[in-house]
Structures are given as C-alpha cells and as structure tokens.
C-alpha cells in the first residue's frame, strides 16, 4: 500500500515567523505553507501546486525537508528561499516571510529567457499571450521592452453555452452555427479585464487546440469530424488582429499551427515550455483539461495524442471547476471525511473528485472495478451541509476519464518503445492533483514521487515564451518538424487497452 507521508507526526514542533515574531505549534512533517495559510491567512496563489513561486519564504534556522524539483524550476532556491507549499517541518524552525508576496498567477513555471522580440512584426508596446481553452480563456499582458508580466487573468469561454466538449461544438458548427464570434467575445472580455489601454497592445499570440483554432478563424471544420482528423490550420498565421475580429487596432496576431488531430498549438506550447525548463528526457507530459493532451518527448521525437477526459472529471459530482468555493482534496481520517477548500464549497474540482475516488479505493469503499460497496446504496456522502456526495455514476465517469488518459500514454510508450523517466502534469485542471491519488487509480505510469512534476498552465507559458524570445519561437518551429500525432482510435489494440484502463489500480510498464 502506498504511504501518503514518510514523516512521523508524533512530535510537536514550533515555527517562529519573522518579522512578526509569531510563534506557532505544529506537528512534525506538516507543510509550512498549509500552517501559514491556516493560522495567518498566508496566500498560496497556485493552491499549493508549487509552480507560481508566490509562497517563497526563507528558512533562517532549523531542519526542513529536501527541496523538490518545482522549487528549483521556480527559481526560489537560487534566491536562497524555499516554497512554503513544498516544504515540511522536521524540527523547530525560524521562517522569514517577505513583506511583498507575488499575486496569483494563472500560468505556470516560467523558464529563464533572454529577451529577444526581433521575430515579432511589431514590438513597440505591450504583448498579449492567450491560451484559448475549451473551458477557460487565459491571458498574460507583457511589457515587451522589459519582458515584465503586467497582468494575468482568465474568463470562461462563452462557447460553453453551445456545448462543453469539442465534438458537440463541431456538430453545431457543421449545422451552420457561427461559433467564432463567441470565442472573440471571450477574448475581448479577457482583454477588458487585463487593461483599459487597448491601443498599446501591438502583438498577440494565441494558442489553442485544433477545434478552437478552426472555430476562431472560421476555417472549414469538416476535416476534424472524422478520421484521420486533419486540422485545417497547418502553417503559421500572421494577420492583423482586426482581421479575426479582435478589437486591437495596432496589434498583429500570430497563431502557431496545430500538431495534428485535436492536438493544436496548445500542445506545441506545452513542449516549448518543458524543453525550455530543461526537464530531463524522456518525459511524459499530461496536460489535463476538457481536451487533454498527452505527450511523450524522447528528444528525437515528440509523440502526441489527445484524450477527451476533462469533462468526465469536471461535469460530475457537482463539479464546479477551478474556483475557491470548491473541494480540491479529500481524505478519510479517524473515521470521517476531511475536505480541503478555501471557502464554503459548492462542489468538487477535478482533482478533488480524483482524490475522493482514490481515497475510496484505498479504504475499500470501492473495489478496483469501481463498484461501490452494497451498503452505500449507490452514493457516499462527503459533506452534509452543503450536500456533496459521490455516486456510482460519478465513479464510472471517472473511470472513463482515467482510461482515456491511460490509453493515450500506454499507446505512446508502445509506439516509441521508450519508458518515461518523469511525469509532468500541466494545465490548471491538474494543478492540485496529488501524486499518490494519480498513482493509485492508474492515471499516471509508475515513476518515483520526486519525478512527478507540476508546472501549471504550460500552454500559456509557452505562448508567453514564444512572444518574448526568438529562441523559443524557433524552438517551436523545430518541435513541429519532429512532432507526430498518434490517432488512438486507429490502433487495433485500443479497445483492449481502454477496457484494461477502466480498472482503478496502479499500472505496470
């Protein structure tokens, strides 16, 4: 049985907080960030996932856990600091909290870049990087002369009103419904949240999956409705933003092409980010979202598959997505359910649902086939007020989502004949996903916990990088030359692998 923590919690320790001189009593092994958040309201901007760097503190005295790779990637270690959300107390410690804590970020770990905007048609003012997602539209406003991020935010994609999944949107578009204006409406709403000075925005980069690209640009989407799912945008597109309906009078828009199938320029941006971060090859990247991308990067090749798994996690059990009024983690301790949330919850995030199912499996409330014990009569209550419960149907939907992801990485590994040494989790959906939960239900291949890395919204990070760095822009072109889309449904063994993936258990390679 996998152990959640190797630290003994039988001893009481003390944390002294500088410069406020507050003294707190904690258990050995507790995470400093969770203690500071609970006792002092200390912000954890990315929810404790370790990719934003916003909870960096300085350890003045005492013994703490060894640094994790996220702390090195975020740059905290170079500054002589630790990420509070990644650091456990092993003795009495003295911790210094900086007076200024960075604001929340909707992107992820940003690689070190040499600012070079010579590839941009216009680099006089501000740049806007956008990740046009199926559910959310996320953006970052950048000062191009310095590379400084001025603001970041997100809005819901208005196309949700036309269907939460890509297939539904394709069908509606093929019936003649014009979906593009809704995508433009969402981007316009995002711009209004980021700035009141539109005329200063001179460059725009938009990454998206193949369907979102086609709908935004009003391209013929019929090629994505049947195998081999050929994306209509195959070359880099550079046009005035006004030509695609976005009211930025001075901006030139750059839209990178798709890799193949439903894997668009968002998957390309993911790989740009991981390559720039120097994450060791071979690695498996899983960008969890409504349309999930799975990438196996071997160095010489980049194999990409897509899995429609996000809706299975997001649309059930009162799923409410990435908002503060949602449960992000579920544990069963001392005979009762313990839920992690910031405000009175309205439902479960995707990671919260995965956590609940993994915990039910651990304690035997469900078996590997997903079947709930008979005495629960088809539902298990996690919280009475407000009512949050997991039903047998919810578990079946989670099994489908897990199997979709498993089938993707299983086939990619077989195709490449190479096993990944690391698993990289990307996307805001996966920000709070816990290693133990993902491993237990078979969502990820068996890698050591230290090789399980969360990097946040790497699609937006890749878009920002391509805007700020000619090197990143050229890297993207090079990746496109070696990237190959794998159509899972075209594989003869796909049905057998999918059925195998429905079993909730730790995988073997």
Does a structural domain hold residue 358?
yes
Q: Is the pLDDT at 6 greater than 60, yes or no?
A: no
Q: What is the pLDDT of residues 248-300, one digit of tens each?
A: 999 999 999 999 999 999 999 999 999 999 999 999 999 988 789 999 999 99
Cα distance between residue 114 and residue 108, in whole Å: 18
What are the tokens at 168? 């539904």
d(CA 276, CA 270): 10
Q: What is the DSSP string of 8-77?
A: ---SEEEEEEETTTEEEEEETT-BHHHHHHHHH----TTTT-SSS-TTEEEEEES-BPPPPHHHHHTTTG
Q: Is 84 within the bounds of a domain? A: yes
Q: Which of 6-10, 41-45, 250-254 reaches the highest mean pLDDT?
A: 250-254
What is the model's pLDDT at position 315?
42
Residues whose CB falls within 8 Å of the CB of residue 107, separated by 6 or more in sequence, listed in order: 138, 140, 152, 456, 457, 460, 461, 464
Nearby residues of 375 by Cβ (< 8 Å), 6 or more positions away: none
Enclosing domain of residue 66: 12-96
Q: Is 482 a residue whose pLDDT tops 70?
A: yes
In this prediction, residue 312 carries a pLDDT of 64
- pLDDT, tens only, 327-341: 888 999 999 999 987
Most confident of 15-29, 69-83, 242-256, 299-313: 242-256
State residue 22's pLDDT score: 82
- Residue 319 pLDDT more than 60? no
Domain count, the chain: 2
Is pLDDT above 90 for 43? no
- Looking at every residue in the chain, the average pLDDT score rounds to 89
% the chain with pLDDT above 90: 67
| Residue 177 within any structural domain of the chain | no
- Residue 314: its pLDDT value, please? 58
First to last CA, the chain: 18
Say if residues 123 and 203 touch (Cβ distance below 8 Å): yes
Which of the four pLDDT bands, split at 50, 70 and 90, describes residue 243?
Answer: very high
Q: Which one of 372, 392, 412 terminates a domain?
A: 392
User: Is 64 within a domain?
Assistant: yes
Residue 108 lies in a domain: no
The pLDDT of residue 47: 64
- Give DSSP secondary structure letters for 190-236: HHHHH-S-GGGEEEEEEEE-HHHHHHHHT---GGGSSTT---S--S-
Q: Tell me which of 64, 96, 128 is where a domain ends.
A: 96
Q: Which contacts of 218-225 are long-range, i.e. CB under 8 A and separated by 24 or more positions? A: 218/178, 218/180, 221/170, 221/173, 221/174, 222/174, 224/170, 224/262, 225/170, 225/171, 225/174
pTM: 0.82
Does 469 score more than 90 pLDDT? Answer: yes
pLDDT for residue 115: 97
The angle formed by the CA atoms of residues 250, 253 and 255, to the nearest 5 degrees, is 175
Least confident segment among 89-103, 201-215, 306-320, 391-405: 306-320
Q: Rounded to an integer, what distance in angstroms lies between the CA atom of residue 372 and that of residue 380?
A: 9
CATH code of 27's domain: 3.10.20.30
Q: Is residue 24 part of a domain?
A: yes
| Preceding peptide of 386 cis, ω within 30° | yes
Over range 464-472, report the average pLDDT: 97
pLDDT mean over 431-452 = 93
Q: What is the pLDDT of residue 1?
A: 24
pLDDT in tens, 127-167: 999 999 988 899 999 999 999 999 999 888 999 878 878 88
**Token pair recorded at residue 47:** 């929810």
Report d(CA 291, CA 75) in Å as an integer.
30
Position with higher pLDDT, 206 vs 10: 206
Structure tokens at 109: 């770990």
Identify which of 69, 9, 10 has the alpha carbon closest to the alpha carbon of residue 34: 9
Partners of 333 in beta bridges: 336
pLDDT value of residue 431: 74
Q: Is pLDDT larger for residue 297 or for residue 43? A: 297
In a domain, 248, yes or no: no
**pLDDT-derived band of residue 219, with 50, 70 and 90 as boundaries?**
very high
Structure letter (DSSP) for residue 328: -
Q: From 62, 81, 96, give the residue that closes a domain.
A: 96
Residue 340 lies in a domain: yes
Report CA-CA distances (Å) from 356 to 332, 346, 437: 9, 15, 9
Beta-ladder partners of 110? none
């Amino acid at each position: 049985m996998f152990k959640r923590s190797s630290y003994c919690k039988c001893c009481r320790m003390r944390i002294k907080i500088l410069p406020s001189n507050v003294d707190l009593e904690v258990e050995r092994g507790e995470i400093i960030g969770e203690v500071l958040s609970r006792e002092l309201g200390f912000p954890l901007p990315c929810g404790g996932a370790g990719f934003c760097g916003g909870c960096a503190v300085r350890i003045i005295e005492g013994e703490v856990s060894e640094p994790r790779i996220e702390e090195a990637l975020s740059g905290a270690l170079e500054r002589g600091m630790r990420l509070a959300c990644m650091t456990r107390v092993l003795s009495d410690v003295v911790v210094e909290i900086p007076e200024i804590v960075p604001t929340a970020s909707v992107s992820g770990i940003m690689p070190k870049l040499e600012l070079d905007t010579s590839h941009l048609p216009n680099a006089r003012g501000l740049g806007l990087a956008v990740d046009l997602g199926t559910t959310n539209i996320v953006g970052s406003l950048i000062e191009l002369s310095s590379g400084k991020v001025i603001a970041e935010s997100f809005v819901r994609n208005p196309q949700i009103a036309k269907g939460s999944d890509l297939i539904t949107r394709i069908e509606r578009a093929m019936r003649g419904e014009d979906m593009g204006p809704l995508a433009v409406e969402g981007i316009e709403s995002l711009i209004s949240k980021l700035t009141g000075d539109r005329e200063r925005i001179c460059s725009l980069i938009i990454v998206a999956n193949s369907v979102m690209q086609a709908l935004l640009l009003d391209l013929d989407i019929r090629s994505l409705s049947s195998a081999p799912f050929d994306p209509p945008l195959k070359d880099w597109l550079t046009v005035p933003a006004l030509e695609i309906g976005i009211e930025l009078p001075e901006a030139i828009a750059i839209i990178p092409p798709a890799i193949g199938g439903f894997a668009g320029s968002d998957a390309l941006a993911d790989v740009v980010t991981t390559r720039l971060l120097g994450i060791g090859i071979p690695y498996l990247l899983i960008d969890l979202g409504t349309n999930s991308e799975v990438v196996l990067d071997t160095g010489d090749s980049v194999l990409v598959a897509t899995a429609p798994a996000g809706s299975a996690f997001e649309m059930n059990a009162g799923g409410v997505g990435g908002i503060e009024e949602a449960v992000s983690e579920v544990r069963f301790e001392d005979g009762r359910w313990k839920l992690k949330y910031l405000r009175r919850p309205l439902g479960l995030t995707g990671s919260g649902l995965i956590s609940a199912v993994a915990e039910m499996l651990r304690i035997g409330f469900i078996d590997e086939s997903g079947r709930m014990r008979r005495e629960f009569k088809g539902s298990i209550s996690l919280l009475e007020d407000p009512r949050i419960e997991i039903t047998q149907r919810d578990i079946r939907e989670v099994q489908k989502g897990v199997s979709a992801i498993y089938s993707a990485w299983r086939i990619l590994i077989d195709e490449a004949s190479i096993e990944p040494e690391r698993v990289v989790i990307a996307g805001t959906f996966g920000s709070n996903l816990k290693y133990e939960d993902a491993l237990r239900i078979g969502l990820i291949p068996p890698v050591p916990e230290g090789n399980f890395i969360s990097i946040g919204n790497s699609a937006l990070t890749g878009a920002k990088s391509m805007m700020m760095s000619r090197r990143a822009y050229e890297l993207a072109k090079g990746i496109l030359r070696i990237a190959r889309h794998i159509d899972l449904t075209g594989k003869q063994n796909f049905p057998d692998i999918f059925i195998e993936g429905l079993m909730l258990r730790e995988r073997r390679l």
